[in-house]
Structure 1
Amino acid sequence: MRVDVSGVRGDHGFIIGTLCKEGEAFPSGCTRTARAKAADGVVSLDFKGLAQGDYALALYHDENDNSRLELGAEGIGFSNNANLAKAAPQFDASRIKVNGATRIRVRIRYSI
């Protein structure tokens, strides 16, 4: 599956994506990850070898390259562009179907 991440600000750090299959604790218990160097505009992440099924994606822009989300300071996004209100969205709000060559687009959002 290819994920095109739009709205990336700047080229510092990395875009980190985590992908959960249905039944895994979303977003903290995802077992699949992908990472790409940040670039202003659009960055692509690739998840290979996925079985068909339902998944949910969470991603963030690790601008300071410390492998941790600095909530409020770094950008974050979810499949289906589900909103981050007071907590991460539930799996169902971010559910996507993977069936063969799947490509999705996620807009990363920054609070500041």
Structure 2
Amino acid sequence: MSRLALLLSGGVLAAASAPANAGSVTITVTDLRNTKGVVMACMTTKESIFPKCRRDPNSHRTVVKASNTLTIRFDDVAPGDYAIALLHDENEDGKANRVLGMAPKEGYGFSRDAPVNMAPPDWDDAVFTITDAPKKMTIKMRYFL
């Protein structure tokens, strides 16, 4: 059967590209201190690596230019429990710069505006559930210095 015939007979190929009951997550980022650099966003289902979800090959990731009005959207998100980490990478070096190796020099934010107390937040403070319905949230960017 040709690809065209397969598509016309039930959309098998089209349906295979997106998870069943996929949802979307729209994040409004507030309180950026400037429009320098980019904002890196990463969303994962893996508690064991959060907030460094780059180690999750199935994570949703994007990088967007910093702006006064910033919206980030992830589409085709399978239902499940997720947490988001944001970094305002002002110098665009692709990493979270620190002062004296400890305190963050650049802005950061987490889903559910999870609290930060001398370390990244716990998964339980940042986790939220995705269904097939669109999810909207606001994350406040924070700066240590």
Q: What is the TM-score when the length of structure 2 is the normalising length?
A: 0.71
Q: Secondary structure at the match of 2:88?
A: strand
Identity %: 27
How many residue pairs get matched?
A: 111
Q: Which structure has the highest strand share of the two?
A: 1
Q: Which AA in structure 1 matches 2:28?
A: D
What is the aligned partner in structure 2 of residue 2 from structure 1? Answer: 26
Which 4+ stretches in 1 moved above 6 angstroms?
none
Larger of the two Rg values belongs to structure: 2
| Aligned position for 1:111 | 144
Residue from 113, 116, 120 that aligns with 1:81: 113
SS in structure 1 of the partner of residue 112 of structure 2: helix
Gaps of 5+ in 1: none
User: Is residue 32 of structure 1 aligned with residue 60 of structure 2?
Assistant: yes
Secondary structure of the residue aligned to 2:67 is coil
Equivalent-residue separation in structure 1 for 2:113 and 2:30 (angstroms): 11
User: In structure 1, how many angstroms separate the alpha carbons of the residues matched to 2:130 and 2:62?
Assistant: 16
Determine the C-alpha separation between the residues in 1 that align with 2:48 and 2:27: 20
Q: Which range moves more in the overlay, 9-18 or 22-31?
A: 22-31
1:57 aligns with 2:84: yes
Consecutive unaligned residues in structure 2, runs of 5 or more? 1-24, 99-103
Q: What's the C-alpha RMSD, in Å, of the aligned pairs?
A: 1.4
Higher mean displacement: 94-103 or 24-33: 24-33
Structure with the largest fraction of helix:
2
Contact 1:62–1:69 (8 Å) recurs in 2: yes
